[in-house]
Structure 1
Amino acid sequence: MRAHLATLGPAAVASAAVALALHGLILRPRMLTWGATRDEAARSYPGDELIPGAGSSSTMATTLPAPPSRVWPWLAQMGCDRGGWYSWDRLDNGGRPSANGIVPQWQSLEQGQRLASVPGGRAWFTVAILVPERTLVLRDDTRLPSGRPFDPFHGPPPRAFISSVWGFHLEPVGTGTRLVVRTLGRSRPRVLTGPMDLMFWEPAHFIMQTRQFHNLRARQRRTA
């Protein structure tokens, strides 16, 4: 029995090391560049300059069956207090279904505008860059562990924080649209936020972003 227990520890450590290596070398790179070409993943995009010294990033992409002029209105009305996020609504929209059509009163969008990221508006994204039918970059600056927003342009950042951008970039391709989504994040203290990126935030973003891609495609096909 003692011999069995003695060999169990090293075996478990070895298995964990193999699993981490597979995740780091194979699964994670694919997850962070899901659907994107090598050129798309390597390019710089508007908004990259907003997070200097980023410690995390991803570039995911999909092709939507509609031109940018028809894709843009869906992006312009995003927000918890607007059209939702077109992802898993129970997780990021308070259970309220995201919009299934274009709502005119949600089409007004301007730089500096706040879009609620959680029900009730206690946290939000700020529209950082806005080029209609081309680029929409949302910025989030959050104190840790409270989850309260802070202004990154007035005074030094908090001791513990996350600053990130979520950028949507549209390019016409044939009769459709290539939608490339770039995220960049900077956070402190990295000894805590780094493992959280690997274990939670990156997988969560992958799950939510691929769902958003799926639902945007479905809405485009339905309204075509």
Structure 2
Amino acid sequence: MHTDRFARGPSVSLVAAASLGAYTALVRPRLLTWGASSDEVARAYPGDELVPDADGSSTMATTLPAPPGEVWPWLLQMGCNRAGWYSWDRLDNGGRPSADRIVGDWQRLVVGQRLDAVPSGDAWFTVAVLEPQKTLVLRSSVVLPFGRPFDPSSGTVPGAYVDSIWGFHLAPAAEDMTRLVVRTRSRSRPRLLTRPLDVLFWEPAHLVMQTRQFHNLLTRVSARA
């Protein structure tokens, strides 16, 4: 019995290691580049320089059936206590439905403005780059493990943190359509803790949330068009 138990142990470990290796080599690259072309993945975008030594990055994309000028207002009004994030509202908007119309009061946005990340307002994104009808980059810098925001420009970096950007980049496409490319970049410490969480949780979670946002933006833009 002891021999069988020890024989099974290494087999389970080998299967787990092989599964993780296959995920890392085959699945993860597709997960991080969902919908994006090789050119879009390789391209540099405004805001990338804010996290120059990124530990993690993703580039996802979709095509929307309207020109950039009609897509841009939907992005301008994003945020909790505003239009929401057009994703899974129970997870990222306190259960409140994201807006299904353009609201004039939410169309004013400036660099440095805070957008609530949660309904309580205890965490937020900061507008880091704003180029009308082209680029909107949001930055989030939080202390781990409690998610308290900090200012990365202060020169004081916590021992445990995540500093990340979430960038939305619009480009005209054929037949009055828009190519929407979403680029994320992040740097986090301590890497021994944050890397497993990134690979096994945050990256798949981002795919789920981002593709849902793409779907809901497509629905809204199509209806308005």
Give the TM interval when normalised to the shorter protein.
Answer: over 0.9
CA-to-aligned-CA distance 1:4-32 (integer Å, 9 cap, x gap): 32221111111101111111111000000
Query: What is the aligned partner in structure 2 of residue 170 from structure 1?
Result: 170
| Aligned AA (2:118) | V
Give the Cα separation in 1 of the matches to 2:214 and 2:155. Answer: 37
Per-residue deviation, 1:155: 3.0
CA RMSD, aligned part only? 0.8
2:3 corresponds to which residue?
3
In structure 1, distance between residues paired with 2:139 and 2:67: 25
Q: Which amino acid aligns with 2:218?
A: R
Q: Secondary structure at the match of 1:20?
A: helix
For residue 166 of structure 2, give the secondary structure of its aligned residue in structure 1: strand
SS in structure 1 of the partner of residue 168 of structure 2: strand
Once the two structures are TM-superposed, the CA of residue 156 in structure 1 deviates from its matched residue by: 1.5
TM superposition outliers: structure 1 runs of 4+ over 4 Å: none
Match runs of 1:61-80 below 5 Å: 61-80=61-80
- After TM superposition, the structure 1 stretch with the greater mean CA deviation from structure 2, 152-161 or 175-184, is 152-161
Letter in 2 for 1:64: L
Which residue of 2 is the match for residue 103 of structure 1?
103
Deviations 1:89-115 (A, max 9, x none): 000000000000001100001110000
How many angstroms apart in 1 are the aligned matches of 2:157 and 2:60? 29
Cα distance in 2, alignment partners of residues 111 and 216 from structure 1: 23
Q: CA deviation at 1:223?
A: 1.5
Cα distance in 2 for residues equivalent to 1:8 and 1:82: 54
1:138 corresponding residue in structure 2: 138
Write the distance in 2 (CA, Å) between the matches of 1:17 and 1:171.
41
Distance 1:186 1:3 in 2: 45
User: Which piece of structure 1 moves more, 192-201 or 40-49?
Assistant: 192-201
Q: In structure 1, how many angstroms separate the alpha carbons of the residues matched to 2:222 and 2:161?
A: 40
Task: In structure 1, give the amino acid aligned to 2:129.
Answer: I
Q: Counterpart of 1:41 in 2: which secondary structure?
A: helix
User: Which residue is equivalent to 1:211?
Assistant: 212
Distance 2:36 2:216 in 1: 18
User: Given the alignment of the two structures, is residue 193 of structure 1 paired with residue 194 of structure 2, yes or no?
Assistant: yes
Are positions 1:123 and 2:123 aligned together?
yes
**Post-superposition offset of 1:118:** 0.6
* Other-structure match for 1:161: 161
Secondary structure of 2:94 counterpart: coil
Matched-pair identity in %: 62
Partner Cα separation in structure 1 for residue 43 and residue 149 of structure 2: 29
Aligned twin of 1:184: 185
Paired with 2:188 and 2:173, the residues of 1 have a C-alpha distance of 35
Distance 1:61 1:199 in 2: 22
Correspondence list, 1:15-26, <5 A: 15-26=15-26
C-alpha distance after superposition, 1:158-191 (max 9, x if no partner)? 1111000000000000110000000000011111
Partner amino acid, structure 2, of 1:100: D
Q: Structure 1, unaligned stretches of length 5 or more?
A: none
